[in-house]
Amino acid sequence: MLPLFNSMSGKDLSLNYLNPSILISLLIIWIFTSFVAGLYPAFVLSSFKITDTLKGAKAQGVKGGLLRKVLVIIQFSLSIGLIISSIVVNEQLNFLKNKELGLEKENLIYMTIKGEVTDKYDIIKNKLLSNNNIESITRTSHDHPYAIGRAGAGLEWEGKDTDVDPSVYYMDTDEDFINTFKIKLLSGRYFSPEFVSDLNVEQTNFHNVVINKTFAEIIGTDAITEKILSWGNMKCPIIGVVDDFLFLPADREMQPLIIFYQEPIRYIYIRISGNEISSTISYIKSVFEEHNPAFAFDYGFLDESYDTLYRDEEREGKIMKSFTIFAILISCLGLFGLAAFSAQKRTKEIGIRKAMGAPVKSIILMLSKEMTRWILISNLIAWPIAYYYMNNWLNNYPYHYKLTIWVFVFAGVAAFILSLLTVIFQALVASTKNPVDSLRYE
């Protein structure tokens, strides 16, 4: 099971079974488990009266029966709680994967700018755009939109509240950024080489900027494109506002962002049509190899990179499912044993009922009725505990799946069906026995 566990957890654990400490530990676990497993029946057997034992009478201890029921209730409470947890983790993972990003991540190829690409960018760009399956190209300062790590505070603007000092993230792009990523422009305009004021001229402290919706809401004015941000000696007129897009990991809340028009920058993004993907990539490769032969062509797809954001949630989900399966199996084994014990204790009663003409379904109902109460109690225990822990877990995410009653109902019904199937199997075995054998049982 260790390789399977390593693949689920993302770890690289190993066990040297020849290690003396591991062998001694396994021996101690074996002895301890055997001792504990034999402890309960030993106490039960030692509580029998000698006279009753010699007569063949069976112990009808109330304490023993109560302990068995409590153990089954605990087992099923854990199982129901784990079923709920597995569903919630899976729903949260689906929620994150399907969350509106504010951009289109499909059909976007990215690569690092190396070698002669900076100097030959315009030539490469024009040649790539001559292919009908290539829609647009842009350059950015970050390899992934969700990995923008640069931030700063101390920004000033006219009418700013003295209590407001946001930590603002910033990135550099060219004029094709929002078109390539399909980010919505809410007001004003985006950068354009037609405007000399947009160009980043060295030795100047004047930069036009575009901000995101979150930053615009912090500034809080309708005439946002008339505002000028001050950052030390730098003056940054706001020329436009873009819609919020995910530029931080999913467990972080949306933050204010400033976009600068800066050249040259480090990464290239190419949006392709999605038709003839293999031949399109081959064409892109040939262009880069022609104009930048000293470096190997290396690329990635943005949607695949976004999927890696949720590896922790995927691991949690896999581990939770595994624990849930084991817990359900153990619970059903416990319930099966208890049902078998109950049926055995009522062997004579079942024989009499069958002799009096009772149908099989009435005997199944008789044996199942008590188990149903225990599952109900297990739900009453598991639901509030699972809600508390999973609600706290979800609150770690600024954007998360909302818990609904149907998750708990589904878990309860699933546990009930599994327990019912377990009991029905044992009840069928007991109810189909010859009543003559049952009456002669004692």
pLDDT digits (tens, 9 = 90+) for 59-116: 555 455 677 778 888 888 888 888 898 889 888 888 877 778 888 888 999 888 888 8
What pLDDT, on a 0 to 100 scale, did the predictor assign at position 275?
Answer: 83
User: Is position 41 within any domain?
Assistant: no
User: Is position 50 within any domain?
Assistant: no
List the single range of 79-83, 220-224, 253-257 with lowest mean pLDDT: 220-224
User: Is position 149 within any domain?
Assistant: yes
pLDDT digits (tens, 9 = 90+) for 349-360: 777 776 777 777
What pLDDT, on a 0 to 100 scale, did the predictor assign at position 117?
Answer: 85
304 with 320, same domain: the answer is: no
132 with 66, same domain: the answer is: no
Please, what is the Cα angle at 71 between 65 and 75, to 5 degrees? Answer: 145
User: Is position 161 within any domain?
Assistant: yes
What pLDDT, on a 0 to 100 scale, did the predictor assign at position 308?
Answer: 74
What pLDDT, on a 0 to 100 scale, did the predictor assign at position 56?
Answer: 55
Domain residue limits at 350 = 62-99+310-439
User: Which residue is associated with the tokens 């976009």?
Assistant: 259
Q: How many domains does the chain have?
A: 3
User: Is position 38 within any domain?
Assistant: no
- Between the two ends of the chain, the Cα-to-Cα distance in Å is 46
User: Is position 435 within any domain?
Assistant: yes
24 with 121, same domain: the answer is: no
Residues 399 and 312: beta-carbon distance below 8 Å: no
pLDDT digits (tens, 9 = 90+) for 285-328: 999 888 888 888 888 888 887 777 777 777 877 888 888 888 88
Q: Which residue has the higher pLDDT, 169 or 152?
A: 169
Give the pLDDT band of residue 192 (cuts 50, 70, 90): confident
89 with 205, same domain: the answer is: no
139 with 278, same domain: the answer is: yes
pLDDT digits (tens, 9 = 90+) for 413-428: 888 888 777 777 766 7
User: Is position 206 within any domain?
Assistant: yes
Picking from 293, 309, 325, the residue at the C-terminal end of a domain is 309
389 with 250, same domain: the answer is: no
